[in-house]
Amino acid sequence: MTVLDLLGAAEEVHDRAPVVELRGVTRQFPGDPPVHALHPTDLTVRAGEYLSVVGPSGSGKSTLLHLLGLLDSPTDGEYLLDGRPTSGAGERERAALRATRIGFVFQAFHLLPHRTVLENVLLATVYSGVPRAERRERAVAALERVGLAHRLDFLPTVLSGGERQRTAVARAVVARPAVLLADEPTGNLDSASSESVLALFDELHAEGLTLLVITHDDEVSARAQRRVRIADGRLQEIA
């Protein structure tokens, strides 16, 4: 988002710096026969883009997201994050990149049930090195941003699905990542809750956040500015 401010709103998308860049990235799972979860893939997501990857179950969406999120490593090819290759990074470096450059939103929310909404968001600031004095302020601001200022001290267990997912979004953006990766963010939500989360994504996109949303749902995918279809581990841009 800060990138946007620097470059100016008038600039064309394709001139902006790539945040995520896959060059022939492949993921095979060993087995008999080996599973080609992702065939050699090229993909570039530039700063401020809102990209959706849509495909049926088992098509390789989660595999792609895990690679982009540095939770998994490609068997072949190179993945550049912020223009820098990640293949040489060690475990600590990858953890640091996850903490500072990537925000995750999962289908199952993954909120700690015994921690309040605010504490769940604070958790992301702990590992990402947000200055200690700013942590609380930033977490509260992130929760205000997703419309949950009135739920700070609630336990996630008493929230609606939509509120839980918006808490997860606040946690994902509190450390100001370069890209937000969402895996089936509306998969566990009813249509009203889905709509609230998707509206939030629209707003974050409008504010300049780079989003990559993975879904099997065409309607969800249609909200994105740019769409990619995935089938049997192969990506195809939707015009």
Partner 1 sequence: MTAVTDRVAPGDRYGVRDLLAEAAAGVGARPGRLLLTILGTVLGIASVVVTVGLAQTAAVQINQQFDAVAATQAVASAATSPGRDGQERALARLPWDAAERAERIAGVEAAALVSEVDLAGADVSAVPVHDPSAPRTSAPPVLAAGPHALEALQGRLQQGRWFDAGHDARGDRVAVLGADAARRLGVQRVDRQPSVFVGDRAYQVVGIVDDVARRTDLLGAVILPTGTARADLGLAAADELHLHVAIGSGPVVGEQLPLALDPNEPDTFTVGVPPTTSRVRDSVQADVSTIFLALGGVALLVGGVGIANVTLLSVLERVGEIGLRRALGATRRQIAAQFVVESVVIGLLGGLVGAALGVAVVVVVSAAQSWTPILELGMVGLAVLAGGGIGLLAGLYPALKAASVEPIAALRGGV
Binding residue for ligand ADP, selected from 41, 52, 62, 186, defined by CB under 6 A: 62
Nearer to partner 1, 14 or 92 (CB): 92
By rule CB under 8 A, what string of x and - marks binding of each residue 40-69 to partner 1?
Answer: --------------------------x--x
The listed partner (ligand ADP, partner 1, Mg ion, none) that binds 91, CB under 5 to 8 Å by sort, is partner 1
Contact 166, 196 (CB under 8 A): yes
Contact 61, 38 (CB under 8 A): no
The answer to whether the peptide bond before residue 33 is cis (omega within 30 degrees of 0) is yes
Rounded Cα distance between 46 and 141, Å, is 26
The listed partner (Mg ion, ligand ADP, partner 1, none) that binds 150, CB under 5 to 8 Å by sort, is none
Q: Give alpha helix (H) positions in the chain.
A: 2-7, 61-68, 91-101, 117-128, 135-145, 161-173, 191-206, 218-222
Binding residue for partner 1, selected from 95, 192, 199, 222, defined by CB under 8 A: 95
- Which single residue is written with the structure tokens 């179950």? 57
Span from 33-41, 53-61, 127-135, 196-204 in contact with partner 1 (CB under 8 A): 127-135
The listed partner (Mg ion, ligand ADP, partner 1, none) that binds 60, CB under 5 to 8 Å by sort, is ligand ADP
Span from 33-41, 47-55, 80-88, 210-218 in contact with partner 1 (CB under 8 A): 80-88
Torsion on CA atoms 107, 112, 115, 119, rounded to nearest 10 = -60
Task: Report the Cα 213 to chain-centroid distance in Å.
Answer: 7
End-to-end CA distance of the chain: 26
Q: Which amino acid is at 98?
A: R
Nearer to ligand ADP, 61 or 205 (CB): 61
Rounded Cα distance between 59 and 186, Å, is 18
Q: Which amino acid is at 199?
A: A
Is 31 among the residues that bind partner 1 (CB under 8 A)?
A: no
Least distance in Å: CB of 53 to ligand ADP?
Answer: 9
Least distance in Å: CB of 62 to ligand ADP?
Answer: 3
Is 58 among the residues that bind ligand ADP (CB under 6 A)?
A: yes
Is 23 among the residues that bind partner 1 (CB under 8 A)?
A: no
**Residue closest to 208 by CA, chosen among 13, 22, 67:** 13
What is the binding site for partner 1 (CB under 8 A)? 66, 69, 71-72, 84, 86, 88-89, 91-93, 95-101, 104, 106, 108-115, 119, 123-124, 126-132, 171
